[in-house]
Amino acid sequence: MRRLGSAWTLLALGVAAVLAVPSLAVLAAFARPAREVWAHLWRTQLVEVLANTVALVAGVGAGTLLLGGALAWLVVGYRFPGRGLFEWALLLPLAVPAYVIGFAFLGLFDFTGPVQAALRAAFGPGARLPDLRAWWGVVVTMTLVFYPYVYLLARAAFREQGAATLETARSLGRSRCAAFRQVTLPLARPSLAAGVSFAMMEALADFGTVATFGYRTLTESIYRVWYGMFDRAAAAQLASLLLLAALLLLALERSLRGRARFTQTARRGGAAAAAPLRGARAWAATAACATVLGLGFVLPIVQLLVWTGDAFGGWRAAAFARLLANTLALAGTAAALATALAVLLAYAARLHPTRSVRLAAHSASMGYALPGAVIAVGVLAVLALLDRALVPALESALGRSVGLLLTGSAAGLLFAYVARFLSVGFQTVDASLARIPPSLDDAARSLGAGAGRTLSRVHLPLLRGGLLTALVLVFVETMKEMPATLLLRPLGLDTLAIEVWARTSESMWADAAVPALAIVAAGLLPVAIAIRLGAGGLPRPER
Partner 1 sequence: MRFLPVLALGLAALLLGVLPSPGGGQTREVVVYSARSHYNQEPAFDAFTRRTGIQIRTLGGNASELFERLRAEADRTPADVLITVDAGNLWNAARAGLLATIDSPELVANIPAHLRDPEQRWFGLTTRARTIMYNVQKVKPAELSTYEALGDPKWKGRLCLRTSSHVYNQSLIATMIKRDGEARVEGLLRGWVANRPTLIGSDTKILEAIAAGQCDVGVTNTYYLGRLLAKNPALPVAPFWANQQTSGTHVNVSGAGVTASARHRAEAIKLIEFLSSPEAQQMFTDSNFEFPANPQAALNPVVARWGAFRADDINVAAAGEYQATAVRVADRAGYK
Select from 288, 380, 351 the least CA-distant residue to 70. Answer: 288
Q: Which of 144, 330, 342, 474 binds partner 1 (CB under 8 A)?
A: 330
Tell me the closest approach of the beta carbon of residue 494 to partner 1, in angstroms. Answer: 7
* Residue 416 lies near partner 1 (rule: CB under 8 A): no
Question: Is residue 403 involved in binding partner 1 (CB under 8 A)?
Answer: yes
Which window, 91-99, 142-150, 360-368, 494-502, contacts partner 1 (CB under 8 A)?
Answer: 494-502
Q: Nearest Cα to 246, choosing from 198, 287, 285, 296? A: 198
Cα–Cα dist 324/109, whole Å: 31
- Told to check if 223 binds partner 1 by CB under 8 A, we report yes
H/E/C letters for each residue in 469-497? HHHHHHHHHHHHCCHHHHHHCCCCCCCHH
**Is residue 408 part of the contact set for partner 1 (CB under 8 A)?**
yes
* Of 106 and 145, CB closest to partner 1: 106
Binding to partner 1, residues 235-294 (CB under 8 A): none
Shortest distance, position 382 Cβ to partner 1, whole Å? 10
Among 170, 189, 216, 358, binds partner 1 (CB under 8 A): 216
Segment (H or E) for 276: strand 275-276
Distance between CA atoms of residues 433 and 514, nearest Å: 39
Q: Which of 14, 84, 228, 258 binds partner 1 (CB under 8 A)?
A: 228
Of the pair 399, 492, the CB lying nearest partner 1 is at: 492
Residue 445 is a binding residue for partner 1 (CB under 8 A): no
Strand partners, 79: 276
Interface residues for partner 1 in 27-46 (CB under 8 A)? Answer: 40-41, 43-45
Cβ distance to partner 1 smaller for residue 174 or 216: 216
Closest CA to 367 of 331, 416, 427, 333: 416
Beta-bridge partner residues of 275: 78
Does 492 interact with partner 1 (rule: CB under 8 A)?
yes
Selected binder of partner 1 within 336, 458, 524, 525 (CB under 8 A): 336
Inter-residue contact 262 to 190 (CB < 8 Å)? yes
- CA 509 to CA 507: how far, in whole Å? 5
Q: Which of 30, 135, 136, 227 binds partner 1 (CB under 8 A)?
A: 227
**Binding piece for partner 1, criterion CB under 8 A, among 59-67, 238-246, 424-432, 480-488:** 480-488
Regarding 65 and contact with partner 1 (CB under 8 A), the answer is no
The verdict on 391 binding partner 1 (CB under 8 A) reads yes
| Binding test (CB under 8 A) with partner 1, winner from 117, 134, 172, 521 | 117
Smallest distance from the beta carbon of 339 to partner 1, in angstroms?
8
- Kindly state whether residue 134 participates in binding partner 1, applying the rule CB under 8 A: no
Rule CB under 8 A: say whether 480 interacts with partner 1.
no
Interface with partner 1 in residues 496-525 (CB under 8 A): 498, 501-503, 505-508
Phi first, then psi, for residue 78 (nearest 5°) are -135, 155
Q: State the binding string over 450-479 for partner 1 (x if CB under 8 A, else -).
A: ------x---xx--x--x------------
Q: Segment contacting partner 1 (CB under 8 A): 2-10, 197-205, 299-307, 336-344?
A: 336-344
Burial of 278 (0-12, 13-18, 19+ CB in 10 A): exposed
For residue 389, CA distances in Å to 381, 386, 393 come to: 12, 5, 7
297-336 b/e with 16+ CB inside 10 Å = b?
bebbbebbeebbeebeeebeeeeeeebbebbbebbbbbbe
Distinct helix (H) and strand (E) counts, the chain:
26, 2
428 near partner 1, judged by CB under 8 A? no
Number of residues engaging partner 1 in binding (CB under 8 A): 78
CB atoms near residue 185 (< 10 Å): 16
Cβ atoms within 10 Å, residue 99 = 25
Please select the residue that binds partner 1; options are 407, 428, 432, 469, rule is CB under 8 A.
407
Rule CB under 8 A: say whether 112 interacts with partner 1: yes
Cβ nearer to partner 1, comparing 257 with 503? 503
